[in-house]
Structures are given as structure tokens and as C-alpha cells.
Amino acid sequence: MSIVKKICLFVLLAFLGVAVSAKDNPDLPEIDSINYYFTLIKESKSDYEKQELNNYLISYLREFLLTASSFNADYNDVKNLSVLKSDDGKLRVYTWNLNFQDGSFKYFGFLQYKDNKGISLNFLEDKKYKTDVSIRLYQTCNEWYGALYYEIITKKWNSYTYYTLIGWDGADFLINRKIVEVLYFDRRNTPVFGKKIFKLNRTNTGRLVFEYADRATMILRFNKQKDMIVMDHLAPSESKYLNMFQFYGPDFSYDAFIYRGGKWILQQDINPDEAINFKRNSKVNSLKRRGVSRSF
């Protein structure tokens, strides 16, 4: 079926969905429509068609997410979309990706922020996709690093609230990436990424990027009970593969970041019981079940 026919069919189904179910649940037609877009994208075999469908999805989401009802809507039935809500109830983060034929991924998303004035919406588009990542800071929505976020940690320090985001990037056929970065909103409610509050020995950085072999799995989770971000320590399978990240994987030791004095401070070689013996985040497991990714 061509993309034009699919879109026409979608419009018809969306209209019928509104007519049938709007009386019972005002959110259901929109959620069904969003889910249908993702289904079309997933089933598409053409990169061009995926991008065209994704453009329609972005437009539809942008319109819906500006409505008050969208902020408390239940997105659990939407596959391939990650939706995170902050503990303070002010922020929702929506992220998803396109998987292309060459094994690469491109990421998209929205930041939905609620304050006394109402809801503000910021669009996110992956700007690192097939570019030199070393030349950009990726601190604004227009310069977004791009990832599928699967955990959000809310911390307050002085007059600001910092949202620590943990995400995954499929990168390519050889490597995966996991990312940890901090988002906050300035006094004009403008989102800012990459606040330098990660302390590694004497160095402060605003974003942590871990690269490892595509066939490997890396633990990178928030341990709420211990109030720490725990992670596998990555190392090459042999010393000759130093800095060749397609050969990196866990070495069965663990590191952590502890939040103290407004900073995440690196603590190396922590007790394995602290790293892995804790209750799994049910929201992360839900994202896995819904097919967002199985690499969390």
C-alpha cells in the first residue's frame, strides 16, 4: 500500500474512532491515532516512507500535546513511544526513534512543561545524526544530542530543579550508546541541556556517553533505594582494543554516581549488592514490554 493510501486510511480510521469512542473517553481517539502512526512507521520498509509518516506524526503530536488533556493522558497503549513524567509533576518527556536500513537511528521528542501560566511545548530533533559529535555542546532543543530516554530523576538544588535523564542510542550495527545528562528550565522557562554537574575526579562534565559493543548489554539504572545511578564498568575484551568501542563490554565491576551538594559524584568499584540487588523500575520494564527498546 502506498504512503498516500495509508494516510487516507488513517484519516478515515481516526474519524471513525472519534465518532465511536469520544463519548466514553475523550483521550482515546488521539491515543489510538498516535499508536496507529507508530504502527505504520514500524511496518514500513522504506526509509523515505518512514520519514514522511514521521512528519505527519510530529504534526499530530504537536497539536495534541498543546491541549490540557494530553498532560495527564495514559500512553501505555502506545507502542514504540517513551513517555516519562517527573516526580514534581511539571515535566513530561516524550521520545521515539526511526530505525533506518543502514542500521542507524534518528531520535525525536517533545518536552511538555507545565507551570502556572499553562503548558509549554518544545520539539526535539536529533542533531548528532551522522554528524561530528565533538563540535557541538547540545545544550538547546535546537541542538539536541538525541536519545531514547527511559528514566528521569528529579533533584532540587538552590532555586532550580534538575531533571537527570538516562537514555539509549542504538548508534549503528557495531556499537550501542547509553547517555546520562541533566535538563533544567531557566528563569524564562527555556529548557537547557548539559548542565555540568557530573563530577569525575576533578573534572565536571554535562553529559556522559558510554559506548560499547552492539552484542553487549550495559546496566545503567537509578537505584532509588540507595539514591544513586549505578552502572557497569566498561572495558575492552583485550588491551589491544583500547578505544575501539565495538569491543567494549561490562567487566563485572560496577561504578555509581552519588548526588551530593548539587552534583553527581563518581564513586568507582562499588559493592555489587548495591549495584544490582534492588527493585527494578516498573516503568522501565513497561517500556520494554511495549517494544520501545529491549536494550535498557
**What would the pLDDT profile of 253-286 be if each residue is shown by its tens digit?**
999 999 999 999 999 999 988 777 655 666 666 6
pLDDT at 133 > cutoff 90:
no
Q: Are residues 96 and 8 in the same domain?
A: no
- Dihedral pair phi/psi, residue 174, rounded to 5°: -100, -40
Which residue range forms the structural domain that includes residue 220?
A: 83-289
pLDDT at 70 > cutoff 50:
yes
Q: Are residues 182 and 240 in the same domain?
A: yes
The answer to whether position 296 is within a domain reads no
Instruction: Place 24 in a pLDDT band, splitting at 50, 70 and 90.
Output: very low
Q: Are residues 152 and 89 in the same domain?
A: yes
Instruction: Place 27 in a pLDDT band, splitting at 50, 70 and 90.
Output: very low
Task: Write the single-letter amino acid at 28.
Answer: L
C-alpha cell at 137: 555542546
CA distance linking residue 143 with residue 2, whole number of Å: 33
Q: Are residues 191 and 48 in the same domain?
A: no
Q: Are residues 46 and 102 in the same domain?
A: no
Whether residue 211 contacts residue 236, with contact meaning beta carbons closer than 8 Å, is answered with no
Mean pLDDT of 23-48: 82
Give 186-227 pLDDT, tens digit per residue.
988 999 999 999 999 889 999 999 999 999 999 999 998 889
pTM of this prediction?
0.87
C-alpha cell at 193: 541541556
- If one counts the domains in the chain, the total is 2
Q: What is the pLDDT of residue 60?
A: 96
Q: Are residues 200 and 255 in the same domain?
A: yes
CA distance linking residue 54 with residue 41, whole number of Å: 7
The answer to whether position 78 is within a domain reads no
pLDDT at 71 > cutoff 50:
yes
Nearest by Cα to 150 from 294, 38, 277 = 294
pLDDT at 4 > cutoff 70:
no
The answer to whether position 87 is within a domain reads yes
Whether residue 274 contacts residue 229, with contact meaning beta carbons closer than 8 Å, is answered with no
Question: Strand runs (DSSP E) across 46-147, as ranges?
Answer: 82-85, 91-99, 105-115, 118-125
Instruction: Place 29 in a pLDDT band, splitting at 50, 70 and 90.
Output: confident
